[in-house]
Structure 1
Amino acid sequence: MKIYTKTGDLGQTKIVGGKILPKNNIRIKAYGGIDELNSWVGYTRSLTNKTTNELDKELEEVQQLLFDCGKDLATLDRGEQNKFIFNPDSISWLEQSIDSKSQQLPAISKFILPAGSQLASALQVARTITRRVERDVVELKQKEKINPKVLIFINRLSDYFFINARYANYLLKSKETFYRNSKNVFK
C-alpha cells in the first residue's frame, strides 16, 4: 500500500468529500492541530504506570474522540450527504470525569505552575496544545459552518487536561507549585 498521493507536492490536500484545499487553509490547520494533539496524547499515555493506569484508559478514549473531531472538521457540512460523527454525549463524559477528579483534589485558589511529575507536565502540554487548536477551530467556525459540538468538546478538553495534570500529581504524590504573584483566582 502506498501512503503517498503526491497531491501534497503542490501544497494541496483533499478533505472528506474530495474537495482539494491548500495546506495552509484554516480547515487543514484546525484538524492538523487535532492530529498533533492526538499524537501528543499518545506520547502522554506512554508515561502512565500502574498508579495512573486509569488515566491511560481515559486518554485512549480521548484519542478516539479526537479522531472523530478531526474527521468532522475535515468534512464540509452538506447536510445528510456527509453526516458528522462526533457524539455530543462525549462532552458530558468529559465533564463527569472533570467533576469526579476535582472532588478528590485539594482546592486551589491561585494559579499553579505547569510542572510536577513527568505525566502531569505532559498533560499540561496537552492542555496548551488544546488551547491553540481551539483558537484555530474558532477561526474556522467564523469562516465556515462546522459541527458546533466539536468546539464545545475542545473547549472542555483543555479543562480536562488541567484537572488530569493535577490528578496525576495527586496520584504520584508530586507537589504542586503556586505561581508566586498569583492573586486568588479560583473560588
Structure 2
Amino acid sequence: MVRLNKIYTRTGDGGTAGLVDGSRVSKSSLRMTAIGEVDEANAAIGVALAELSDGEVRSHLLRIQNDMFDLGADVATPGEVEGALRILASQVERLEQEIDAMNADLAPLTSFILPSGSPAVSALHLARAVTRRAERAAVALHEAEPLNPQLLAYLNRLSDHLFVAARKVASEEGGDVLWQPGATRT
C-alpha cells in the first residue's frame, strides 16, 4: 500500500528523481521522459472518462487507468528487481479481447477517421495520440536500456483500444467523422 504523508520532499530540487530501486536519475533522462509521457497518457484517459457516461468503454478506461499506474511502476523499476510490479501478458490479452468485442459491431473502415466528433470521441482520440507519444518514449528508452516487452505491447495495444473505443462511442452518437481526401481544395 502506498502512503504519502508529505507531497514535497525537496529531494528533486537538484534535477534528479528517485526510481523504485532507490537509484536517482536526471529528470531529463529517457526513463523520466517515458514515465512522464505515461503519466500524461493516463491523465488524457481521465479527461476522456470525464466526458463519458456509464457504460462498457467507461468501465474499460477505469481499469486501464489502474493498469497505467502499474505500467508507470514498471518503467520506474530498472533492471531485474525481485517482486517488481511488471505488466503481464494477460493485461495485453485483456486489451485485445476488449478491442475485438468493441470492434465486432462496428462497420468496416472505408476512410481514415478525423479525430473529431463529440467531446467524448475527441477526448478518446486525444488520449490515443498521447498514448502513441508515450509508446515512442518507451521505445526510445528500450533502445538504450531493455524494458519489459509486455510493457511495450501494452502501450501499442492501448492506442488501438482507444481508437476502437472512440469509434464505438462515435457509432452510438451518429458515426465517425471521415476524412474526405481533397474535399477542402479550392
Global fold match (TM > 0.5)? yes
Cα displacement (A) at 1:111:
0.4
8 A contact 2:51–2:119 mirrored in 1: yes
Cα displacement (A) at 1:31:
1.2
Tell me how large the CA RMSD over aligned residues is.
1.4
Task: Give 2:49's aligned amino acid.
Answer: R
Question: Partner residue of 1:179?
Answer: 179
Query: Hey, what's the Cα distance between the residues in 2 that align with 1:35 and 1:46?
Result: 17
Query: Hey, what's the Cα distance between the residues in 2 that align with 1:46 and 1:38?
Result: 13
Question: Partner residue of 1:136?
Answer: 137
Query: Hey, what's the Cα distance between the residues in 2 that align with 1:144 and 1:85?
Result: 16
8 A contact 2:86–2:148 mirrored in 1: no
Cα displacement (A) at 1:78:
2.2
Question: Partner residue of 2:56?
Answer: 54
Query: Hey, what's the Cα distance between the residues in 1 that align with 2:177 and 2:40?
Result: 28
Does structure 1 residue 25 correspond to structure 2 residue 4? no
Query: Hey, what's the Cα distance between the residues in 1 that align with 2:104 and 2:83?
Result: 40
Instruction: Give the stretch that moved more between structures: 109-118 or 119-128.
Output: 109-118
- 5+ long unaligned stretches in structure 2: none
- 5+ long unaligned stretches in structure 1: 183-187
Task: Give 2:139's aligned amino acid.
Answer: V
Match 2:71 to one of 48, 69, 72? 69
Q: How does 1:1-187 map to 2 (within 5 A)?
A: 1-50=5-54, 53-79=55-81, 81-171=82-172, 173-181=173-181
Runs of 4+ in structure 1 off by over 2 angstroms are 81-85
Query: Hey, what's the Cα distance between the residues in 1 that align with 2:105 and 2:44?
Result: 26
Cα displacement (A) at 1:84:
3.8
Please list the CA deviations of residues 57-114 of structure 1 after superposition, one character each: whole Å capped at 9, or x if unmatched: 11011001111110000001125x3534322201111111111111111111210111
